[in-house]
Structure formats: structure tokens, C-alpha cells
Amino acid sequence: MERNRRVEADKAWEVSWTRRILITALTYGIAVLFLWLIASPNFWLNAAVPALGYLLSTLSLPWVKQWWLSRKQ
């Protein structure tokens, strides 16, 4: 019973918006720092590329997963 609750909580965390936003913000922050350190122009804007790429990938993956599962069966 306890294991099932823990597994369900882990699944909920994996698809939660809190997790997605946190990872997106961390990705953006690390990219800003890196681009600033190498003196890249427009580092604030350029850092958005990997962060938004991550966020978009999390939005498209559930659809891709469903498509893949339907083709596999």
C-alpha cells in the first residue's frame, strides 16, 4: 500500500507543472550564467532558447507517447 502511494506520487511529480516550471527556470538560469560568462550578446534572450525547448518538449511528449503506444499495440 505504501509503495503504491509512493509510486503514484512519483508519477504525479513527473507530469506536474511545478516540476516543468522549476526545470525550465533552472535551465534558463544556468544558460544565462553560461552565456554571460562567455560575454555573449543578448544573453538574456538567447538563454530562453534551451529553456523554451525543454518546456515545448514536455508538452509534445505525452502526445508522442500516446501515438507510439497505439502503434505498438
Q: Helices 48-72 and 17-37 sit at what angle, rounded to 10 degrees?
A: 140
What the block records as the C-alpha cell of 65 is 507517447
Residue 22: pLDDT band by 50, 70, 90 thresholds?
A: very high
Residue 62: pLDDT band by 50, 70, 90 thresholds?
A: confident
Q: Choose among 55, 21, 56, 49: nearest CA to 35.
A: 49
Can you give the pTM of this predicted structure?
A: 0.78
Taking only the tens place, the pLDDT of each residue in 45-61 is 999 999 999 999 888 88
Structural domain harbouring 59: 2-72
What the block records as the C-alpha cell of 15 is 507530469
pLDDT at 14: 86
Total domains in the chain come to 1
> Rg (Cα) of the chain, in Å, rounded?
17
pLDDT at 59: 85
Average pLDDT value for residue range 29-49: 96
From CA 56, how far away is CA 67, in angstroms rounded? 17
